[in-house]
Structure 1
Amino acid sequence: MEQSGTSSLLQGAVQDLASCVVSALRSGDHARAAAPERAADGEAEGLALAAVRVLGADAMLPSTLLPTPPLPGELAVFREAVEAYPPGADAAPTVLWSHWAMRRTLWRLDPGHADGPHREPDAAWLEDAPWQLLTHQLAVLAALAVPGEDCAVARAAQHRPVDVARGFVRAVRRRDWRQAAGAGRWLTLLEGVPQTLGLDNGLDFVELMGGQDPLVALQVSAARLTRTGVFV
């Protein structure tokens, strides 16, 4: 019962944080953005750090896509989340990549006080992955779908635009709005996406059907900013 309650609190904290990111992306008002300020209560602070870790590099997405620097408080919380939750020795590839993305984001936003990310994790498992698995994994790693990012995961996506497009359509048909939004975000960065996909209309539909979920809204908002070229 206690574990279930903690899980519910964390899910709520992640959704609240995602809502703040969405508000900042849509309004350009950085004061409404990203990582929370440090909490006075220890339990609340731990929950806030865990929420940042779950959202990953997207917790700082307004500072990545908008021409405004991060606030000192949110940057401090993000840095603490990076340090507090290193991946374990048996961590899944997506966990390793998520942590790598957070370290890279921290280094970009605060290069004077952060080391660069370690060597990229392995991404060989994506090269021959079936298109369904590829789309699922890319959606999980959608925080890496930012303009100018050059890493093995981004290159794997760039080599398979048609497969990602197929995965996007499949996710929409299955009403998996989170996966559809994450795949759509990647598609805004890829060359060779079939024109028949109708990505803009597809993103509109995903937003309409799943936009009440802040995690869906975050991905769609990021995709729109990338699509229109409104980013740093």
Structure 2
Amino acid sequence: MEQPGTTTPLTGAVRELATQVVSALTSGGHSPMSAHTPVTVGDDELGLAAVRVLGADVLLPAVLHRTLPAPADLAVCEKAVLAYPPGPDASPASRWSHWAMVHTLANLGAPTAHTSFENPEPDASWLEDLPWQALAHQLALLAALAVPGADSAVAGIARRRTVDVARGFVRAVRRRGWLQAAATGRWLTLLDDVPDTLGLDAGLAFVALMGGDDPRVALHLQAARPVLPGAAAGRR
């Protein structure tokens, strides 16, 4: 958790945006033919940077509720994709985050032409042999890819290393790293062979109790909720 006095303007903007996304996720009730109320707050430099940090999760309410995104959100996300493309020295996680945004925009029918260009998946082989601690950290950074029904090379690696993801979740909880715990827990709700001994439901409830005041933590927990065992939507 952040200490008082350490919040930067960008951090504040990201938290505000995450709060808006969580509000949209918890409200629900939209018709598939009606768009959500916009979650983005502007397309100035700070607003676009916040969108780029949160990535495809800005559009998560439309993805999970299977509704139309607000046109304003589509427009701002497209501007963010154009304003912050991964550079030559970008990290693999940054490349995957960019891919996820473009992929999501295209799936949601973003109107402008640039979302139609070829968008091949980045390489994911770098994840294959990472130690489990590093794997859990990287998957937490890429939690926007953990969406029911979606598939990617990253998701495939997570499925093959379920035990390592579970170990990462436990480690994050023990270290009180609530953001990473929520993000890795979000991945685990999509995996079929999570050990029953993990107690994922109880673990996520504990993360919500201890870290749920952070809107980024709350966002990941809301993303996990529709696919938790026993939830109304069931495991997809």
Q: Distance in 2 between matches of 1:33 and 1:157?
A: 32
Counterpart for residue 11 of structure 1: 11
Unmatched segments (≥5 aa) in structure 1: 40-44
Unmatched segments (≥5 aa) in structure 2: 31-35
Change (3 A) 1:33 1:180: farther
| CA deviation after TM superposition for structure 1 residue 68, in Å | 1.6
Q: Distance in 1 between matches of 2:235 and 2:82?
A: 28
User: Is contact 1:70-1:109 (8 Å) kept?
Assistant: yes
**Equivalences for 1:69-148 in 2 at 5 Å?**
69-110=68-109, 112-113=111-112, 114-115=115-116, 118-148=119-149
Counterpart for residue 156 of structure 2: 155
User: Is contact 1:58-1:143 (8 Å) kept?
Assistant: yes
**Equivalences for 1:8-47 in 2 at 5 Å?**
8-28=8-28, 31-36=36-41, 38=42, 45-47=44-46
User: Is contact 2:37-2:70 (8 Å) kept?
Assistant: no
Counterpart for residue 33 of structure 2: none
Pick the structure with more helix per residue.
Answer: 1
Q: Distance in 2 between matches of 1:174 and 1:153?
A: 25
Q: Distance in 2 between matches of 1:67 and 1:93?
A: 29
User: Is contact 2:97-2:142 (8 Å) kept?
Assistant: yes
Q: Distance in 2 between matches of 1:95 and 1:26?
A: 28
Q: Distance in 2 between matches of 1:146 and 1:19?
A: 19
| CA deviation after TM superposition for structure 1 residue 46, in Å | 1.1
Change (3 A) 1:224 1:106: same
Counterpart for residue 42 of structure 1: none
TM-score, normalization: structure 2?
A: 0.88
Aligned pair count reads 221
User: Percent sequence identity over matched residues?
Assistant: 60
- CA RMSD of the aligned region, Å? 2.0
| CA deviation after TM superposition for structure 1 residue 71, in Å | 1.0
TM-score, normalization: structure 1?
A: 0.90
Q: Deviations over 1:163-192 (max 9, x none)?
A: 111110010000000000000000000011
Q: Deviations over 1:44-98 (max 9, x none)?
A: x111111000000001110110132011111111111111110000100000000
Counterpart for residue 224 of structure 2: 223
Change (3 A) 1:49 1:117: farther
| CA deviation after TM superposition for structure 1 residue 32, in Å | 4.8
Q: Distance in 2 between matches of 1:117 and 1:182?
A: 29
User: Is contact 1:66-1:230 (8 Å) kept?
Assistant: no
Q: Distance in 1 between matches of 2:108 and 2:23?
A: 20
| CA deviation after TM superposition for structure 1 residue 105, in Å | 0.6
- Three-state SS of the structure 2 residue aligned to 1:97 is helix
One-letter amino acid matched to 1:110: G
| CA deviation after TM superposition for structure 1 residue 112, in Å | 4.8
